[in-house]
Amino acid sequence: MFRFVHENYNVKDLDKSLKFYEEALGLKEVRRITPEDGSFIIVYLGDGKTDFQLELTWLRDWDRPYNLGDCEFHLAFRADDFDAAYAKHKEMGCICFENPKMGIYFITDPDGYWLEVLPTRK
pLDDT in tens, 32-69: 999 999 999 999 999 999 999 999 999 999 999 889 88
pLDDT for the residue 69: 84
Which of the pair, 122 or 8, is modelled with greater confidence?
Answer: 8
Give the pLDDT band of residue 80 (cuts 50, 70, 90). Answer: very high
Instruction: Classify domain 6-61+71-119 by CATH number.
Output: 3.10.180.10
The secondary structure of the chain as a DSSP string is: -----EEEEEES-HHHHHHHHHHHH--EEEEEE--TT-SEEEEEEE-SSSS-EEEEEEETT--S----TT----EEEEESSHHHHHHHHHHHT-EEEEETTTTEEEEE-TT--EEEEEEPP-
Give the pLDDT band of residue 73 (cuts 50, 70, 90). Answer: confident
pLDDT for the residue 122: 66
Average pLDDT across the chain, whole number = 94
